[in-house]
């Protein structure tokens, strides 16, 4: 029984510590004591006790009562202790009378008299009960009075406990005695071993006298309990504080996914008729107010450096080597860049929220409306920045696109935008392609825009397509060459061009009755194609970039409008097998089957990506 | 696991016998008495176990306080299976001697290797001049 008494002494020490700490507090009425012979505590009963007890301070008189403080042990030992306790309780008449006393006290009598002469203030018991509140079911053990009160104060100075810091019990609290296996995924081998061990222990226990204590293999450990329950709770509290988050889906994505998967699996199992489904508890991080808000780096006005503050929340934070004093005279460019980055970040957050909502709830019309509004907001932010001028707006947009993250943003946004807005963005991109290409030399990230833009392009109307292409052919003022030369030398540019042409070809050839499009449009189209073909053929193969996708209908498109010599050159550059040209070319005005082409394009795309 | 499902915590390991591997390569075996949020450990009745080949030797060390960042891993020791090992326990002097011999042979082999490389004009940076990780 050495261990038992050790635990009792510890619990006593805890109480005394608290009592010493809180002498100034008014001594409340009777309380707690949740004396529960069956080893299960009803926490609600506790709180009721506290509320109902008349608030008569009984200063000098320290009421005596039997209270049981349970030390949190590991599961196996717990079980043994529970059973031990039960034996104790049943065997001790003093305790039994205390139980009745406490229960009667609950009805409102001012004081509880208990046989044990333990000097415990009800306040400390109150506190303890709150402490234990979340550890339901909790059992209490009687603390027997010892002659002296050894002021054994283990461990470091504990922070003064603040009851408000302790959280409410988690949503689903499983009985503590069961295996950990249904809560966490243990290796099946491990699970079996634990199960066997538990069974052995339970069966072994029934045959042995509870007074003996542990199984023969575990001699009573005189040094156990160095870390008392309060300290353990404190560590857990600190760990919990670190875990809390406003947005668990974001911060703790993997655990949330895992838990949902587990729940789904259990739901399935239940569907199959397996009764006794174990409720897996979820990690619920309650909102615990951090004791103090601290700034890890303190800057004193007028000083040159920074002072790092270290608290129990975090050791000293690294101080920046750069002084913050002389930032004002930095150039406007730096600020502007920051502005752009800041805008990108804001829009990105909005986009992420939008995507999350989409993932979460789908077909509800209300949410769809909400999403549309959010999308509109992002789009506006992208387009206008903070100016109304369309030139400035385009500028803002291009600045966003100059940053790698901005490209990612636009790529993801394009998939969500309604068509007209998406088309608008695509056209802006195509008309400013040389500029973007120049800005992209460092990142080489334009290609991530290709796929979403490709999807958009396939939905373009003919006039819009023409608009896009014309942007490429405009001769820039002050330079001899057309933008198309730059475009052709860039992988993204050339792929975009090819997809535009391919789509145009599809539009033209699908609507074989040429009355669909206006003649001026068609003329413009023809001119464009010829010009582009000419440009491609006159560019050296070396400088031509390799496109991401080569649509199959291009060569036939060119065949129709340009002469054979140029076609041969094109074919050489566009990497087509000569056999194909003989079949499709030579002036045949055929409408190639669209389905075959789309399949081929997809296959090629699939090969490349 | 009781308190925080889905997380790992050392709370349930308190007062159990553990094997702790430190970053400097030492192996400690002791009863885990106390922890904190940094996983600093207090080990009681600690024994430093030195392994050389199939032999091992225990050096009793008493109480250890280990700073959390120096722990590589730790695991609970099953008391029933503890003695069920193919390894042979020897005295401290013997194991230290074995360790010394092992170190020596290793150093000798290393020296020869470095020599051979030097002859060929190559060099391998020494581990202690590299970053720890």
Lowest average pLDDT, out of A289-303, A484-498, B38-52, goes to A289-303
The model's pTM is 0.42
At A516, give phi and psi (nearest 5°).
-60, -45
Q: Between residues 90 and 129 of chain B, which touch chain A (CB distance below 8 Å)?
A: none
Residue A151 pLDDT level (bands cut at 50, 70, 90) = very low
* ipTM for this prediction: 0.83
Tell me if A183 and B14 make a contact (CB, 8 A cut-off): no
Percent with pLDDT over 90 in chain A: 0
Tell me if B34 and A155 make a contact (CB, 8 A cut-off): yes
Chain segment A524-542, per-residue pLDDT in tens:
888 888 888 888 888 777 7
Q: Would you call A269 helix, strand, or coil by DSSP?
A: helix
Tell me if B80 and A217 make a contact (CB, 8 A cut-off): yes
Tally of helices (H runs) and strands (E runs) in chain B: 1, 6
Mean pLDDT over each residue of chain A, to the nearest integer: 64
Q: What is the pLDDT of residue A449?
A: 87
- CA dist B113 and B129 (Å) reads 18
Residue A433 has pLDDT above 70, yes or no: yes
Residue B27 has pLDDT above 90, yes or no: yes
Q: What is the pLDDT of residue A37?
A: 43
Q: What is the pLDDT of residue A178?
A: 40
Q: What is the pLDDT of residue A249?
A: 79
Among residues A530, A535, A454, A436, the alpha carbon closest in space to that of A490 is found at A436
Residue A312 pLDDT level (bands cut at 50, 70, 90) = low
Lowest average pLDDT, out of A180-189, A377-386, A417-426, goes to A180-189
Q: Could you tell me if A396 and A385 are in contact, meaning their C-beta atoms sit under 8 angstroms apart?
A: yes
Which stretches does DSSP call E strand in A155-251?
Answer: none
Facing residue for B11 by CB, picked from A180, A221, A232:
A232
Tell me if A259 and B6 make a contact (CB, 8 A cut-off): yes
Q: How does strand B41-52 pair with strand B27-35? A: antiparallel
Q: Could you tell me if A155 and A226 are in contact, meaning their C-beta atoms sit under 8 angstroms apart?
A: yes
Q: Between residues 266 and 325 of chain A, which touch chain B (CB distance below 8 Å)?
A: 280-283
Which chain B residue's Cα is nearest to A136? B3
Tell me if A217 and B11 make a contact (CB, 8 A cut-off): no
Q: What is the pLDDT of residue A50?
A: 41
Tell me if A226 and B34 make a contact (CB, 8 A cut-off): yes
Cα torsion angle, A35, A36, A39, A45, sign: negative
B78 or A252: which leads in pLDDT: B78
Q: What is the pLDDT of residue A424?
A: 85
Q: What is the pLDDT of residue A206?
A: 54
Q: Could you tell me if A407 and A492 are in contact, meaning their C-beta atoms sit under 8 angstroms apart?
A: no
Residue B95 pLDDT level (bands cut at 50, 70, 90) = very high
Chain segment A337-380, per-residue pLDDT in tens:
888 888 888 888 888 888 877 776 655 666 677 777 777 777 77
Q: What is the pLDDT of residue B2?
A: 59
Q: What is the pLDDT of residue A41?
A: 40
Q: What is the pLDDT of residue A517?
A: 67
Residues of A in contact with B79 (CB under 8 A): 217-218
Q: What is the pLDDT of residue A98?
A: 44
A76 or A202: which leads in pLDDT: A202
A308 or B123: which leads in pLDDT: B123
Q: Between residues 136 and 175 of chain A, which touch chain B (CB distance below 8 Å)?
A: 155
Residues of A in contact with B45 (CB under 8 A): 223
B7-120 CATH choice from 2.60.40.10, 3.40.50.300, 2.30.30.100, 3.40.120.10: 2.30.30.100
Facing residue for A240 by CB, picked from B1, B4, B42:
B4
Residue B102 has pLDDT above 70, yes or no: yes
- The residue-averaged pLDDT of A279-307 equals 66
């Amino acid at each position: 029984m050495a261990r038992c008494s050790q635990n009792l002494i510890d619990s006593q020490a805890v109480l005394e510590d608290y009592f010493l700490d809180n002498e100034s507090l008014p001594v409340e009425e009777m309380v707690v004591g949740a004396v529960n012979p069956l080893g299960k505590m009803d926490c609600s009963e506790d709180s009721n006790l506290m509320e109902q007890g008349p608030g008569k301070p009984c200063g000098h008189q320290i009421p005596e009562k039997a209270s049981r403080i349970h030390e949190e042990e590991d599961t196996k030992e717990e079980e043994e202790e529970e059973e031990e306790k039960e034996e104790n309780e049943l065997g001790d008449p003093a305790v039994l009378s205390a139980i009745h006393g406490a229960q009667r006290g609950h009805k409102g009598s001012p004081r509880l008299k208990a046989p044990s002469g333990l000097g415990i203030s009800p306040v400390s018991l109150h506190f303890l009960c709150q402490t234990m509140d979340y550890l339901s079911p909790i059992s209490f053990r009687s603390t027997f009075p010892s002659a002296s009160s050894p002021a054994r104060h283990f461990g470091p100075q504990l922070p003064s406990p603040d009851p408000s810091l302790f959280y409410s019990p988690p949503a689903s609290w499983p009985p503590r005695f069961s295996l950990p296996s249904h809560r966490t995924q243990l290796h099946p081998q491990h699970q079996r071993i634990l199960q066997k061990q538990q069974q052995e222990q339970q069966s072994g226990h029934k045959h042995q006298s509870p007074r003996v204590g542990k199984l023969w293999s575990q001699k009573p450990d005189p040094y156990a309990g160095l870390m008392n329950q309060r300290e353990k709770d404190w560590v857990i509290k600190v760990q919990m504080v670190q875990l809390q988050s406003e947005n668990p889906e974001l911060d703790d994505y993997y655990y949330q996914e895992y838990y949902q998967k587990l729940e789904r699996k259990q739901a399935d199992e239940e569907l199959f008729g397996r009764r006794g489904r174990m409720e897996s508890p979820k990690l619920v991080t309650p909102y615990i107010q951090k004791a103090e808000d601290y700034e890890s780096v303190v800057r004193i006005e007028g000083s040159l450096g920074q002072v790092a503050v270290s608290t129990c929340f975090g050791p000293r934070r690294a101080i920046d080597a750069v002084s913050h004093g002389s930032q004002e005279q930095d150039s406007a460019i730096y600020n502007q860049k920051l502005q752009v980055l800041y805008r990108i970040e804001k829009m990105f957050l909005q986009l992420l929220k939008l995507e999350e909502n989409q993932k979460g709830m789908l077909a509800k019309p209300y949410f769809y409306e909400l999403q549309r509004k959010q999308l509109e907001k992002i789009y506006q932010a992208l387009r206008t920045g903070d100016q109304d001028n369309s030139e400035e707006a385009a500028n803002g947009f291009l600045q966003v696109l100059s940053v790698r993250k901005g490209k990612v943003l636009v790529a993801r946004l394009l998939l969500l935008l309604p068509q007209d807005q998406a088309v608008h963005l695509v056209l802006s991109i195509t008309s400013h392609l040389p500029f973007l290409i120049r800005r992209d030399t460092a990142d080489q990230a334009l290609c991530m825009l290709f796929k979403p833009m490709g999807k958009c392009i396939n939905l373009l109307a003919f006039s819009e397509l023409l608009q896009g292409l014309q942007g490429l052919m405009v001769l820039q003022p002050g330079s001899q060459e057309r933008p198309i030369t730059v475009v052709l030398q860039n992988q993204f540019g050339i792929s975009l061009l090819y997809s535009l042409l391919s789509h145009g070809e599809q539009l033209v050839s699908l609507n074989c009755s040429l009355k669909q499009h206006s003649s001026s449009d068609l003329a413009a189209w023809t001119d464009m194609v010829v010009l582009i073909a000419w440009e491609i053929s006159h560019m050296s193969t070396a400088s031509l970039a390799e496109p991401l996708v080569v649509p199959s209908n291009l060569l036939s498109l060119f065949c129709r409008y340009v002469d054979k010599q140029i076609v041969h050159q094109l074919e050489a550059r566009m990497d087509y097998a000569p056999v194909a040209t003989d079949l499709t070319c030579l002036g045949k005005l055929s409408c190639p089957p669209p389905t075959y082409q789309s399949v081929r394009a997809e296959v090629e795309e699939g090969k490349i990506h | 696991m009781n308190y925080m499902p889905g997380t790992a915590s050392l709370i349930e390991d308190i007062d159990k016998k553990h094997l702790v591997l430190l970053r400097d390569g030492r192996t400690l075996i002791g009863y885990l008495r106390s922890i904190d949020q940094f996983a600093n450990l207090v080990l009681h009745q600690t024994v430093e176990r030195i392994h050389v080949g199939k032999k091992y030797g225990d050096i009793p060390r008493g109480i250890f306080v280990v700073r959390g960042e120096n722990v590589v891993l730790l695991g609970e020791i099953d008391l029933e299976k503890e003695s069920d090992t193919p390894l042979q326990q020897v005295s401290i002097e013997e194991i230290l001697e074995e360790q010394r011999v092992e170190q020596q042979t290793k150093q000798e082999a290393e020296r020869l290797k470095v020599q051979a490389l030097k002859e060929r004009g190559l060099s391998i940076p020494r581990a202690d001049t590299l970053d720890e990780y």
